[in-house]
Amino acid sequence: MNNLSLVATATTPAVDFNASTGLVALSGESYPENAFEFFKPLLAWVADYVRQSSGPLSAEIALSYLNTSSVKSVMDLLDQFEAAHRAGRTVAVHWHYQQENERALEMIEEFKDEVTLPFFIVAVPG
């Protein structure tokens, strides 16, 4: 299985998915014209990783802004993590945000409320 890496653009986050460690990293902002198309290969990668590996799955997320369709796509990603967790896989999410960004914190807390997997909110001084 190959790694998946994408450089951040003005409207899409940086992506670094590592097949040898199961680490999924997303950082930046996400408001592409078509979030579903942008996230499609990311969702496929996670599904393939879960099928092909028995290793842990972890996410390091630092998304400071998401448009509505990106929120839906990130929730789809978290749903895949949740399914792996419920199937007995070691899974964890660490979501980093700028400490003074209360809007981001509220959004992250809403994501956390939707899953039962280990989900850690990490405040970064800014």
Which CATH number covers residue 101? 3.30.750
Contact 56, 19 (CB under 8 A): no
Name the domain count of the chain: 1
- pLDDT of 86 reads 96
Q: What is the CA radius of gyration of the chain?
A: 14
Which residue range(s) make up the domain with 115?
Answer: 4-124
As a whole number, mean pLDDT of residues 66-90 equals: 96
What are the pLDDT digits (tens) for 18-56? 999 999 999 999 999 999 999 999 999 999 999 999 999
What pTM did the predictor assign?
Answer: 0.94
* pLDDT tens string 72-81: 999 999 999 9
> In the predicted model, is pLDDT for residue 126 greater than 90?
no
